[in-house]
Amino acid sequence: MRRANILIALTHKEVQWYRNLGLKGRIEIVRNGVNVEPFQSAPMEVGDEITRVLSLLKGKFVFLWMSRLHPDKGADLFIDALGLLRSQNRNVCGVIAGPDECGLLKKLRKRAQDAGLSQNLIFLNTLSGADKIAILRRAQCFVLPTLSEGFSMAILEALAAGCSVITTQGAHFPEIVPAGAGKIVSRDALAISEAMISIAGAPPDSVAKMGENGVALVKSEFSWRSIARKYEQILTSLV
C-alpha cells in the first residue's frame, strides 16, 4: 500500500484506519453505488409470502430492519425501541428481515414476545429481488442501529427506495442528516425509540419528503454514473 499512488476508502473512518497504519500517501473517498431505477419502478410481481405480509401491513406505519442477524447489527435494540414506541402509538408495525447467521432468531422472537410485540412485529428470512424491493417501498422508515459498517448497502438501498432512515454513528453515513433524509442517533433503545416516535408522529407529507430527499441523495452522490465520474477524475489526475 505504501507503493500505491492512491488509496481508495469507502468512508472517512477508513481514511482514519489507513492513517493509523502509518500510510501518508494520497487517499480519496469513493463510495459504493446502486442502480436507483429498480427501486423506483412500477411494482413487480412478488411471492405469496410477501403478498401476505403486505396485506398485514395495510394501514400501518412500518419500520423496517433488514440486515444479517448478527449482534453488531442491533436487531435487539430495534425490538426494544419498537416496544417503547408501541406504548405510545399502536398503529405501528415492525419488520425484521435477514439471514440468521448467528442463531439469534429464537432469542429475538422471545424478546419481541416479552415486549408485547407478537402482533406488531413480523420476522422474514433473507429477501431478494422483487420481494426485497416491495418491502423497502412499503416501509416508511428503515432502522439500522449498527455498531460498525464498512459501508452499508442496506441503508443505500433503503434510501433508493424512498425510506427515511434512522441509524447510528457506526454506519459512517453522515450524508443522511444534511440531506434531510433521516436521523443519526445514539446506539441505545431510548434514543432510537425517540427518533422513531418523532418520525411516526410527523405529518405524512413530511415523512414522504424525507424519503424524496433520500432518493435525491442517492441519485446525485451514489448512482453508478456519479461513482464512475469520480473514478474518472481520479484516474485522469494520476496520468
| Average pLDDT of the segment spanning 181-204 | 97
Torsion of CA 24, 29, 32, 34, to 10 degrees: -170
pLDDT band of residue 197 (cuts 50, 70, 90) is very high
Task: Output the furthest CA–CA distance in the chain (Å, rounded).
Answer: 61
pLDDT tens per residue, range 55-78: 999 999 999 999 999 999 999 999
pLDDT tens per residue, range 107-150: 999 999 999 998 999 999 999 999 999 999 999 999 999 999 98
DSSP 5-18: S-EEESSHHHHHHH
Q: Could you give all domains of the chain from N- to C-terminal order, each with its CATH number?
A: 7-34+223-238 (no CATH), 37-220 (3.40.50.2000)
Torsion of CA 36, 50, 92, 102, to 10 degrees: -90
